[in-house]
Amino acid sequence: MADVDVFISNYTLVDPEIYQLWIEGFSSSEAVTYLKQKGFGHSMGAPSDLIASDVLDHYRTYSLIELYLNAPTKLMEQSCFQLEPHVRDLITEKYYSIDDVVAREILGKKLSSRYRKDLDEVAEKTCVKLKSVRRQFDNVKRIFKAVEEMPGTLTNNIKQHFFISNDLAKKYACIVFLACLRFETTKKKLQYLSFSDLLTCSHAIMIYWTYTYQHTGPEYYDTEMDKEFLLDLRELRCLLDKEKEIKHLVCLRLKPVLLERAFHELDTNFRSYWRALITIACNLHRNRELRDLFVDLCEKLIDPWRQNGWNREQVNKFLASITQSVLDLEISRDQETRCLWDRYMQVITICLDKMYHI
């Protein structure tokens, strides 16, 4: 009779390298080929069939654990797989990991079964294996359904219910927020924006323009825009009458730090830039204008700046100068206008800084 070696352990063994290959969508045979190319098992003289058997055993285990990973609270409570806390944290974090290129493709799309059937196009475009793309899509859909109407902040809710890190929860919060508010991110002129760019922009909006601004408590949602604030932004229209005063203050600040050609261009086109900033603010109370925020910033400010040869440093200097000039002008006049302008420009400055690529 053949000898059979049997190993029994209380704890489920998770090999981080093999688990990562499973997460990335490698089949067991592809994983074996990859590991052999890296010299896996070579030092111990392990034959190919033993490596293949080991990988297949790991894959079976991960497929069974996946049933609990779909609802991480069940993973915490189950007793079938004895996992050390750090291993449980590792496999949960890895399972919910999301590639930025895949996240960017998912943004703006309906999280429907019909779209799931077309994920092979996403896989081809992003060079991410289809199995991994499907895992990431399913995770986004699962998290979206779980937290879209949950009171409180998205990031905290996602962390608490899916036991993932703060940075990863922020990524999902961005996707959920942009989906809930239906921000336009798919138009051709916005395709140059990376997921990281939109992540920064969306979190700025959540912090400054939702009801969680200066409020804490479960009754406040950061998926709900502060409607009163957006309506009040119409009051900034009064600043159009102060264009000459604002322009004078901005030019005083920027003349010493800009080249003569750049300063002349600013002096010539100041009115169009100024009116664009005010017009965008005054229209944000309309749902369609809010959804098109990134498009409007691109068409009304970024495109003209590019055409006129602005660099990123020039953009940031202009935004800082115009923000402070209004605050200085209004400090002794209208405190409400001053506060509205400051809160509005907090987001606009962050968005334009991330969106302005030369």
Domain boundary among 69, 96, 123: 96
Are 166 and 83 within one domain?
no
Q: What is the pLDDT of residues 6-38, one digit of tens each?
A: 555 667 889 999 999 999 999 999 999 998 888
At residue 312, does pLDDT exceed 90? yes
At residue 331, does pLDDT exceed 90? no
* 274/213 Cα distance (integer angstroms): 26
* 42/50 Cα distance (integer angstroms): 12
**Helix, strand, coil percent values for the chain (each to nearest 5):** 70, 0, 30
Domain boundary among 96, 121, 151: 96
Which pLDDT band, with edges at 50, 70 and 90, does 335 fall under? Answer: confident
Which pLDDT band, with edges at 50, 70 and 90, does 332 fall under? Answer: low
Are 245 and 350 within one domain?
yes
Which pLDDT band, with edges at 50, 70 and 90, does 168 fall under? Answer: very high
- What is the crossing angle of helices 335-355 and 312-330, to 10°? 180
Q: What is the pLDDT of residue 32?
A: 92
On average, the pLDDT of the chain sits at: 91
Q: Is 31 left (phi over 0), alpha (psi -120 to 50) or beta?
A: alpha
Are 59 and 46 within one domain?
yes
Give the total number of structural domains in the chain: 3
Residue ranges making up the domain that contains 86: 16-96
Domain at 252, CATH number: 1.10.490
At residue 334, does pLDDT exceed 80? no
At residue 194, does pLDDT exceed 80? yes
Type of residue numbered 293 = L
